[in-house]
Amino acid sequence: MRPLLGLRWLVRARRHPSALLLAVQLLGVLLYPLMERAAAGRALFGAFGILVLLLAVWVVKRSPALSWVAWGLALPAVLLSGAGALLEQPALWAMSQALESLLYFYAAGSLTAYMLADHEVTRDELYAAGATFTLLAWAFAFAFSVCQIVYPGSFVAVSEGAHRSWMELLYLSFSLLSGVGLSDVVPVLPQARALVMLAQFAGVMYIALVVSRLIGLSITARRSGEGG
């Protein structure tokens, strides 16, 4: 029975890679605080990041976007991340995270194109809507991280220290994209505020263009089915 269940799980994952990516990223939200406290937190964070990168590349293959662009961003990001961990060079970390941010933006754009390609709403497109939001959240969180490496003191918070943790930056990203404004992390340098404004704009446009369209198409399809 277990081999059959595993096979069914793999088939579903191949049919809905966006759902798998969404599940892994939401799991990461719960695991990141534990990783930050663990002795081998950086290694665990790196391994988990590689998993998310691979899933992002896999998702791009299901969309009209070019997969070689995704691989061209993912492979250097992994190499630079490993080199940064071994050599403890902030510049290498910044370059790695910049590439990861670009990859997540690219994957989010490819999923958006996939959802806007037709006038039907499938289950996979609903999963893609959630995965696109998390991809944008990760993309801006990495962009914020790069900003504070290049411009120390870009963000301030209630907690002490000039360097904001990954969880704080991800929390800020989710707060900005969702429009709830609940974050206690505040951008203080012009470069950080520029990125924050872009995140706010992306969140508003995502809801206005993608989410509202999916809701409208779902209502139209339901009414057509009732009328038929």
- Over the stretch 26-44, which tens digit does the pLDDT of each residue have? 998 998 888 877 656 666 7
pLDDT confidence of residue 226? 59
Look at residue 117 in the predicted model and tell me its pLDDT.
Answer: 76
Question: In this predicted model, which residue has the larger pLDDT, 57 or 223?
Answer: 57
What's the pTM?
0.86
Residue 90 lies in domain? 2-227
Label residue 9 by pLDDT band (50, 70, 90).
Answer: very low
pLDDT > 90: percent of the chain: 30
Give CA–CA dist 105/109, Å, rounded: 6
Q: Indicate the DSSP class of residue 208.
A: I
pLDDT digits (tens, 9 = 90+) for 112-160: 888 777 777 777 778 888 899 999 999 999 999 999 999 999 999 877 7
Q: What is the pLDDT of residue 95?
A: 93
Tally of structural domains, the chain = 1
